[in-house]
Amino acid sequence: MRGEEIRAAALAEFARRGYEATTMADIGAAVGIRGPSLYKHVRSKQELLASVIDATMRALLAGHDAAVAGVTDPVERLRRAVEAHVRFHARHRVEAFVGNRELRSLTEPHRAGVLGLRSDYELRFRRLITEGVSAGVFRVASPRLAAYAILDQGMGVAVWFREDGGPGENEVAWQLAEFALRMVGVDGRV
């Protein structure tokens, strides 16, 4: 459990100070481990960043897969995928913030690994859209641009969503799913 605790502290420090300005000593201080002992648990600050961002991407992918599993209707698949995407970004704002801001602080091979996961995630949405088009249910000129737009809407939620005011998570998830469906040419006439 020490590793888990250290990763959580690293995430908080990266969010607060930025990756470059954070030192291993800051992270150690946050979990009450002094000096070199921290290196018994983690190899480097870079490894911590990679592990934090990797965990975020894998959680997002797992959430997506669980959301669409066993569902065959293209409308329902996209609705569930968008809701999962939006809810994740409403709940994991710090992870999303660090994952986006510090992507450029990742060195290889970590960077390529994370970009690969991001690309996998985007492709899942593109495929949902393409399947809906093939089934004659969606009308979209560019499934790729539709996927980008849908993903960007959801990522934006991590920036503006507040627990203490404004529309709640359900309203945001339902509305953004509705927007996504309208974007691909399905209109629930809400």
What is the contact surface with a copy of itself in residues (CB under 8 A)? Answer: 18, 20-21, 101, 139, 141-142, 144-146, 148-149, 151-153, 155-157, 159-160, 167, 171-172, 175-176, 178-179, 182-183, 185, 187, 189-190
CB-nearer residue toward a copy of itself: 58 or 182: 182
CB-nearer residue toward a copy of itself: 61 or 97: 97
For residue 3, the minimal CB distance to a copy of itself (Å) is: 28
CB-nearer residue toward a copy of itself: 51 or 161: 161
Spell out the residues 6+ positions from residue 110 whose beta carbon is closer than 8 angstroms to its own. 46, 49, 50, 53, 54
For residue 20, the minimal CB distance to a copy of itself (Å) is: 6
What are the Cα distances from residue 17, in Å, to 27, 71, 103, 112, 146? 11, 42, 15, 24, 34
CB-nearer residue toward a copy of itself: 20 or 73: 20
For residue 148, the minimal CB distance to a copy of itself (Å) is: 6
For residue 162, the minimal CB distance to a copy of itself (Å) is: 12
For residue 34, the minimal CB distance to a copy of itself (Å) is: 26
Q: Which two tokens stand for residue 187?
A: 């209109």
For residue 6, the minimal CB distance to a copy of itself (Å) is: 24
CB-nearer residue toward a copy of itself: 27 or 176: 176
CB-nearer residue toward a copy of itself: 20 or 47: 20
